[in-house]
Amino acid sequence: MDWIKKNYDRFTLAILVLALAGSAWMLWSNVSGFEDTFAAAKAEPVRDNKIVAVDTATIDKARASFETPTTWKPRKVTDNEMLHGGLLFTSERYLLNKFRQIEKPTKGSIYSDSLTAKPIENSWFIDNGLPLLDSTVPFQDPDNDGFLNEDEWRHNTNPNDKESHPAYETKLFLKAWLKQPFRFKFQAYDGDPAKDKPESMTYQINPLDAGGRTKFVKIGEEIEGTKFKVSKFEFKEKPNPSTGDKEDVSELTLTNTETSETIVLVLNKVIDSPTQFAQFEYFWGKKHGEPGLVFVVRKLQDFALQPKIDRKDLYKLLDVNEAGALIQRPDGEKYQVPLVPKK
């Protein structure tokens, strides 16, 4: 230490010399390795025309999110919850009942069925996602199956499912009972009822609406120009109030060969056996208040109802009168067609 103190200048110079030597060594080392350091950069790159596949999963997810943005869905209605009409900032709705009391629409009924006059529960509209406060809602057809909402309610079907709907005949109504006159007159018989069997006798009949020409037939024979045949004769007499003598009131029974219906002719009296028709009005696919499709069907005739018009879907008119019509459905079951509702 004494030597350093006495020779401080020399010691400092020596340190500097050593530092310069170290720096010179480091510079030489770096310069000598320069070529190796940049050899890779100076090398000729390998050509590759293959395009590396880009992972687009994130992009696709972002696009899907953009196309189907998050929406606010109203809660399912219970006694303590209320739909907001699908609007986020719309408050709950209340109604004034017939007693002018405020209540939630989930209770009571605003509308009545136009056919039966029975009330349709508000909850039915709400449970099926229908616009309760739209005054036309009973007459809307959201699934386009040809049946109105009130039809679906009446028959307990789904108003939002096209495959769930009432039977087509439920939209069929009788507009009118039509009759085409067909008159017969039993004019005489050839034989003695006291001695001869009815099968051996001949009967004189005039079909007044089939040309008016007298026909002579026996039991079991068909009356020419008509759909009737003679099926039975019964000799009858009754006192004449004016003369006191016995009056011949014998009866001749005719049977319709198509319908098996029978009519009884009384001697010397005109009897009407009309051909019967049903004039139907069909409201399938029609708006409320819009006239239906009107068509006429003869008794025992087959007919189809839109939209099904195949042979296997045919209906048959079995009977008709002033109160309604009886038809046979394609499955063989019978159905009573009511009169057109009064407006």
Whether residue 23 is predicted with pLDDT greater than 90 in this model: the reply is no
Contacts of 203 (CB under 8 A, 6+ apart): 186, 188, 189, 190, 216, 217, 218, 219, 230, 233, 252
Q: For 144-186, what is each residue's pLDDT tens digit?
A: 999 999 999 999 999 999 999 999 999 999 999 998 888 899 9
Residues 189 and 265 in one domain: yes
Residues 81 and 216 in one domain: no
Give the three-class secondary structure for 231.
strand
* 52 lies in some domain: no
pTM for this model (two decimals):
0.59
Residues 254 and 298 in one domain: no
* 64 lies in some domain: no
**Domain boundary at 239, 257, 273, which?**
273
Query: What was the pLDDT predicted at 8?
Result: 65
Average pLDDT over residues 123-148: 93
Q: For 57-108, what is each residue's pLDDT tens digit?
A: 888 888 887 777 666 565 554 444 445 555 556 666 666 666 667 667 777 8
Residues 137 and 282 in one domain: no
Residues 285 and 268 in one domain: no
Q: For 185-212, what is each residue's pLDDT tens digit?
A: 999 999 999 899 999 999 999 998 877 7
* 315 lies in some domain: yes
* 51 lies in some domain: no
**Domain boundary at 128, 161, 194, which?**
161
What distance in Å separates the CA atoms of residue 93 and residue 22, rounded to the nearest whole number?
90
Residues 174 and 294 in one domain: yes
What distance in Å separates the CA atoms of residue 282 and residue 286, rounded to the nearest whole number?
9
Domain count, the chain: 3
Residues 294 and 174 in one domain: yes
Burial class (CB in 10 A: 0-12, 13-18, 19+), 40: exposed
Residues 231 and 148 in one domain: no
Q: Residue 311: which domain range? A: 170-178+276-337
